[in-house]
Structure 1
Amino acid sequence: MFRPRLTSSAARRASKWALLGLAAAVCLPETAAPAQEPEEGEPKTVEVAAGDLTLTVPETWKKEPAANRLRLAQFTIPAPEGVKDETELTVFGGFGGSDADNLQRWADQFVEEGRKVTVVQGKGREGAYKLLDASGVWNAPDGPPMMGKTKRQPDSRMLAAIVAVPGQGNYFLKMAGPSKTVDAQVDAFRASIGGDKASEKPFALK
């Protein structure tokens, strides 16, 4: 089979183009890595918009239609086996009153005797936040909010947060229900607002 012979100049040009091609391949920028799957055993998460607040929540939190116009979003939280009472997370826009007043109002939903309440403040992905953790006997709402009826629910826990979204105002989140259910959601609740536990400091109520 006949093969044409390259002259010395043609060979040099071919070698030059080969080297340029190799250099271009080496210098090409890497493409972005695909999003990582969660570690084994960790639930997958989804982003949910609630007004100007973006929540990152586990797929196991079931998004429900808002029960009233004041709610921007609400979720049913999965309960451990044997727990009958439901736990839900509700998200609201701005309320009246100071942060301290609203946090105290949440704390006062628990019977004072035997209750445990801690409040911290920190900075996260969505903005500065204050996070309340209360447990004990909860005066849980019973029926329409306008009726003001409650029922005592022992061994309960509440996680509640006020998130100051820059330029958009405050957003309020509250998860409350049986302690066994809420105990398993502490990290996910903080992560939903992009909270940073390492930056948190105590916040004193009145």
Structure 2
Amino acid sequence: MLETWSAVSKRDLILLREVVKRGAAVPQFRYETRNIPSVEVCFEVDEHHIELTIIKITEAKLPAGWKASDGYLFVKYNFSFPHDAHQTGRTKVIAATNSPEYNQKFLLTINRKTKQLQRVIKRNCLKFEIYQKGGFLRSDKLIATADCKLIDLEEKVHIHESINLMDGRKQTGGKLIYQVRVREPLSGKKLLMMQKKWLILEL
């Protein structure tokens, strides 16, 4: 069916180009809605990776008495796969703001065939910790945490969310914006039906 639609569309395109060249009237046409099969794949990501992008923090609450311009914030992440060697990392420090933009990408290694990965995706979170960078003789200070549930990756290739910053169970104010991508859904490729408006020439 798709091959037939493609062949007809190519023929119509050639015809329209000829009509334009000759200055003739455009043929009558109509639109119809067609269901197009599609497979969701993110070709930019290797099948052995989860791509994490920490985009930005908005309006993080700093310690009492501090101004927004006192912020020197960075984000740590912890991905609990494999169980005996969690994958961790951190962003750069952005100075003089409580709403830093990072746009940093990190590659997390996965093995799609292991049951351990399936358990991590279903039960665990990708954990974030937001820190205020310490100064002279002062250690870094944890000011908030945030958790990213990954179970949607069983059916999707892309998560883009804004999540609340927390202190224990209490929201502190502010959000962390991040993106997670995989090459294809972790439960396997999914055939989707997409509705598209299709132009038909009346010949």
Q: In proportion to residue count, which structure has more strand?
A: 2
Q: Report which structure shows greater RCO (CA 8 Å, sep ≥6).
A: 2
- Of structures 1 and 2, the larger Rg is shown by 1
TM-score by length of 2: 0.25
Q: In proportion to residue count, which structure has more helix?
A: 1
